[in-house]
Structure formats: structure tokens, C-alpha cells
Structure 1
């Protein structure tokens, strides 16, 4: 029944997003990109998709400039969609920006802790997560100041107030703040999608957000080994939903090493396969015959889920999936550009396939 009236308010947006999705780089495009010898060659190959943002960029090009301009195009398209969205779709897209806000908060207070230049930090913030009081973050010295002077007027305020006590802002506490905010945000977004929305959107977002919750739980566990974070505190950072919840997350909370993580994910086939095939623990793609990193395996699974979303009709989830696909495309372009710039052509094919 929800599909009967869906197009009245949301048909234009869904049509636009499906058009945006069809303009993503194809396998043939990637094949051409990997044959480029210089960044100017890369710019030429990217012209059909990114000519509007790269056309007036002077040489010599840099990887950061290409990544920045590609992101600029994504931001422009997202903002156009948001400006035309109404009702639950508008709220849905607002929810999508909260994660970027959390990352920006963590970036600014971490940079301030290391005495980085405020202007440089603000330039590095993700545009979708910008809010008016962000510059004030740089003067907060504890979590109480952070809340009262900055976050109380933002959508993050409920996530912050309900979870965090007053403490000094050191590197460990900042990471705890980021993960605690993200936990509350994911739980709220999941609750809203599954209770306020109906039909395909609720079903698809249950799958997408459960994957994100599980990914965060596994990564938090692996990254906590060898740190001062206690098992009790680590357990508090896991979202209270997902395919691993509650048995898998309970076991993750008790894990002492990677074998403990392997045992915790045993009951979920897609994650079990990551550990069965082995993976590199590095943050990026690994060349040669070595296995992909766990991060790459998660990105690969995210792309599979995102592609499936477009087989459904009448759903807000196409916007979420399109952003994930577009962000991976930008990561792929950046990887290829960096390989060209550093003359690492033997590693240039180690991007995450979208199609």
C-alpha cells in the first residue's frame, strides 16, 4: 500500500538517485583508469563523470585535489536531493548526516589536543557534517564543556547527554566519545527506520544498519587489543542490535585476541567467511598475492548490499545505498590516483569493485 502514494512526494528524488547511480563508473571505466600513466591522463578519463568539477583544475594535479573535487560533486548532488526532499525522506536524509557530524566532532577535538591549526582542521571536516557551532569545539577542555557550549543545540545532543559523564578530553576518551555517540546514533536511526517507516525501506535499512553495527563491534574489539580500554568499557560501545547481537557481541566483549573474535562471529556466515579466508590487518588494500584487509572485506560486503537495494522500488534506502556506492567510487579513484602518483602500478588494481 505504501507504494501507491510513494511517488507523490518521493518519486522525483528516487528517479534522480537512480540516474545518479547509472552514472557511476563502470568496469570498463576502471580498466581505462588503471591504464593511465599520469594524473592528467586520469583527469581526461574521468571527464565524462567528473568533468564539471575537474575541468578548471590547473596542472599539476594532486591526489588530494582529485579526491576533494570528486567529494565536492557528491556533496552538491546530496544537497540538491535534500533541498527537494519532504516528509520522512527529509528526516531520513538528516539522519544520514549525523554520522558525519560525529566524525567531525572527533576530528576537531583530537586535532586541538595535538595543537593543530583550527582553520586547517575545519577545512578537513566533512561538509555533510558541518554545523554552526563547530569552531567552538576547539576550546572545550572536558566533556561537560563540550556538551554545554557546543553540542546542546545540535541533533547529537540526546546521544551525548544520555551516555557520557564529565571527564577530561584525552586521546582515549575522545575515541570513547566518538564510539559512544555512534552507538547511540545507530540505535536511534535503526529504531526510527524500523518503527516510523514501512515496507521496503524498513526491511532494507534493518539489513544495512545491522551490518554497520556488526562492523563497528568487530572493529572496536580488534582495535582495543593492547590498549587501556577495559572489556567492560568495550562492551558498552557495541550497538544493541545487529546479526551478532546479543550472543556474538557478548563473546566479542570477552575476546582477548583475534581467535576470540573469530569464535564470536562463527554464527554469522558472511563474517565467518572473512576469517576463514584470512585477511591482512592493515588499513588499506594489500598488493601481490596477500589477502585483502578486513576493512576491504567489509567495504566489499557493503557494496554487495548497496547494489541489491536498487532491485527494490519505492524506498528511501536508495539514497543511503547511492551515497555508499559513491563514497566507494571516490575511494577507488583516490587509490588509483595515489598508485599513479607514487608509481606503484603493480597495486593499482586493488580497488573495491562496485559492479
Structure 2
């Protein structure tokens, strides 16, 4: 197999899919509040990845081709044949389409993990919130480096 950028992305997405599915099964085995809360967080992550991959695929299609929408509909129908659970796709999870709104939704879900007791989700949520802090710092440093201090609040997602 040729290890070009596309194959690496496919490999990365396939590995991440396997990781999410294995981690989901592990959380289900734990049961209780951990399974309940992690199911929601992992489903949100899976939905976000599915939407990002679908949008990325659509961006790869030439806009001048006559069957642009037709191919997208065909791809979606084939995805439904492969994974019928997409039919019950919860649209409220995908109502936010901007990157900032998706991150804000993720932060809300991770903050909710701290409202229950006696589960392991707080460790996962803590790490995800730390990742958001790092994204915030990266955005702020990029704005400062590019002399765009007025845009700092455009993508900063506030935690707590």
C-alpha cells in the first residue's frame, strides 16, 4: 500500500473508528452512570466525526459536475445500507455546524459529566476540557502572532 496523505487519513479514520467502538463497548461493560454518560459523549464524538467526514467528502467533489448532488445522495443512501442506525441520527446533535458551536456543545456535555457522582467519566471529561484549553491557547497565540487581537473572541470557547 502506498502511504500517501489520503491513505494515511483513511488509516487514521479507520483506527479511530475502531478505538471509538472498542471504548464504547468497554464503557458499556462498566455499566451504571459511566456507561450512560460515556454513551452520550462517545455518540456525540461519533456524530461529529461522521458529519466532518461527510462534509470533507462533499468538498472533494467538483462543483461544476452535473451529478454533484446525485452522488452525494447516492453516497448517503449507501451509508444507510451499510449502517442503518444512521437513519435514527439525532439531528439536535448536528444542529450546530460551525466549529466553535460544535466545540461549545462538546464543552457543555463534558461539564455535565461533573454533575453526577461515582463514575469514571470525569477523567475523560477533564482531559477533553484540557484539550479545549489547549485549542483556546493555540487560537489566542495565533491571533497575537498575526496581529489580529480583535479576533481573539471569535473562536475561544469558554469553559465553566
TM-score by length of 2: 0.79
Residue 269 of structure 1 corresponds to 92
Q: Structure 1 residue 320 and structure 2 residue 124: aligned?
A: yes
Structure 2: 5+ residue stretches without partners: 62-71
Higher helix share: 2
CA distance in 1, matches of 2:111, 2:7: 36
Residue 175 of structure 1 corresponds to 9
CA distance in 1, matches of 2:138, 2:7: 31
Structure number with greater Rg is 1
Deviations for 1:240-280, whole angstroms, at most 9, x for unmatched residues? Answer: 6xxx93315xxxxxxxxxxxxxxxx6x522323x25xxxxx
Counterpart secondary structure, 1:245 = helix
CA distance in 2, matches of 1:247, 1:330: 35
Q: Structure 1 residue 207 and structure 2 residue 40: aligned?
A: yes
CA distance in 2, matches of 1:170, 1:341: 32
Counterpart secondary structure, 1:349 = helix
Give the drift of 1:226: 4.4
CA distance in 1, matches of 2:79, 2:159: 33
Deviations for 1:204-252, whole angstroms, at most 9, x for unmatched residues? Answer: 1100000010001000000012438x938x949x9x6xxx93315xxxx
Residues 347 and 206 from structure 1, CA distance in 2 versus in 1: closer, same or farther, beyond 3 angstroms?
same
> After the TM superposition, which residues 99-138 of structure 1 pair with which residues of structure 2 at under 5 Å, given as runs?
none
Residues 168 and 302 from structure 1, CA distance in 2 versus in 1: closer, same or farther, beyond 3 angstroms?
same
CA distance in 1, matches of 2:102, 2:159: 13
Structure 1: 5+ residue stretches without partners: 1-166, 249-264, 276-293
CA distance in 2, matches of 1:184, 1:338: 33
Residues 220 and 311 from structure 1, CA distance in 2 versus in 1: closer, same or farther, beyond 3 angstroms?
same
Native 8 Å contact 2:44 2:93 kept in 1: no
CA distance in 2, matches of 1:183, 1:235: 15
CA distance in 1, matches of 2:47, 2:93: 11
CA distance in 2, matches of 1:269, 1:185: 25
Q: Structure 1 residue 307 and structure 2 residue 141: aligned?
A: no
Q: Structure 1 residue 224 and structure 2 residue 28: aligned?
A: no
CA distance in 2, matches of 1:270, 1:213: 11
**Number of matched pairs:** 145
CA RMSD of aligned residues (A): 2.6
> After the TM superposition, which residues 74-93 of structure 1 pair with which residues of structure 2 at under 5 Å, given as runs?
none
CA distance in 1, matches of 2:59, 2:35: 38
Residue 159 of structure 2 corresponds to 354
CA distance in 1, matches of 2:13, 2:79: 11
Counterpart secondary structure, 2:93 = helix
CA distance in 1, matches of 2:85, 2:100: 23
Counterpart secondary structure, 1:353 = coil
Residue 130 of structure 1 corresponds to none
